[in-house]
Amino acid sequence: MKIEIEKTKNGWQHYKITNDNGMRVSLLNFGGIITEILVPNRKGRFENVVLGFKNIADYEQNPNYFGAIVGRVAGRIQDATFTLNDETYSLESNEGSHHLHGGPGGFHQVIWDVATFQTADTVGVKLTHSSEDGVGGYPGNLNATVTYTLTNHNELIIDYSATTDKTTALTMTNHSYFNLSGNLAETIQNHIVTMDSDEFVELDEELIPTGKKIDVTDTPFDFRHGRKISDGIHSTYEQNLIATNGYDHYFLFNQNDDEKIRVKDQTSGRIMTVKTNQPGVVMYTSTNLDEGLELAERKSERYLGVCFETQGSPASLHHEGFPSVILKADETYEKQTVFSFKIED
C-alpha cells in the first residue's frame, strides 16, 4: 500500500494511492476528481481506464465533468426549480433553462479538505466539504463527505455521507468516464454491458424526464443479458436518437441482486463490476463529449468513455414514483458504490 501526494502547478493536491497489486487511483482535492485508474489487462499490463486531461490545469473548467464528484444533485433539474414544503427554490440554470450537476458552483468546482488513511489491506482518502445554505439556490447548510477506498481486491469503494440542518435536495455521484480498452486504445462501442434493470426513464428532446418509465423488453435498453453499447449508438429507436445516438438515461435497478452492472472489454480482458445501494444509474455514452480535447493518451472524441452515475432520480422533484433525492434535517445521507476490476477467466 502506498500514498503519494504531489502539489500541482496551480496549487492543488494530487493524490496517488496504490494497492499491493499495483492498481493505482489518482485524484485531486479540486472537485474530488479521479484523474487516472491503472489496472492490468489479461497480459498483466497496467493501463489507464478512465478519461483524464493531459494538463492538470484543464480540470479548472472541465465542462464534461471528467472524474468529478457531482452534487448537490447529479443530473438535470427541470426548469432549475423545485418545491419543498410549499416553498419553491430557484437554482442556477447552466443547461438552457435547466440545472445540471449542481450548477456552475457545484461540488466539481470546489476544493475539498482531504485526509489520507491506510490499513493492512486498504488505502484511501477522505474528502469533506461544507456547502452553505443558499449556495446555488439550494436550502440548508450541508456537510458532505466522500471517501475513496482502494482495496487489495482491486476494488474502488466510494462512500458518500451528508447531513443538513434544513430539508434539501441531494444525490451525489462520481462522473468518471470508463474505457476498459486501456489508455484509450479504442472507443467503448464494443464494451459489453450487463445491467440488472427492467425499466428506464423516458426523456424529452431536452433530455428532461417526462415522468414515464419504459419497459426495456424488446428495446436497445435491455441489458439484462448483456449487449454491446454500439447497439444503441446505431439504433433508430427514438430514445437513442434523443440522446444523440446513444444513451444518457436513468435505469432503475431491480432490487434483487448485489451486483448491478458488469462491463467487459473482450480485447483487453478487463471486466468491471458495479455494486451500489443507490436505486438507479445514469448510463452516459459520451455522445456529447467535446472533440479534440488534449487527454492524457490522445485527443477526445465521441464514445470514448462511458459513465455509470449511480444516484437517485432528479425526476422525483417533479413526478411521482421515482427514487427520492430529498434529505431531511434529521437524516443522514449514506450511499456507497463499489467499482471492482478483474480479468476474464
Task: Please identify every residue annotated as catalytic.
Answer: 175, 309
Q: Measure the CA–CA gap between 275 and 287, rounded to whole angstroms.
A: 25
- The three three-digit cell numbers of residue 85, written as one number: 414544503
Q: Measure the CA–CA gap between 241 and 33, rounded to whole angstroms.
A: 30
Residue corresponding to grid cell 496517488? 16
Q: Measure the CA–CA gap between 17 and 117, rounded to whole angstroms.
A: 10
Strands 46-48 and 69-70: unpaired
Q: Measure the CA–CA gap between 41 and 49, rounded to whole angstroms.
A: 10
- The three three-digit cell numbers of residue 16, written as one number: 496517488
Burial profile 314-326: b = 16 or more Cβ within 10 angstroms, e = fewer: bbbbbbeebbebb
CB of 230 closer than 8 Å to CB of 190: yes
CB of 239 closer than 8 Å to CB of 221: yes
Q: Measure the CA–CA gap between 126 and 145, rounded to whole angstroms.
A: 7
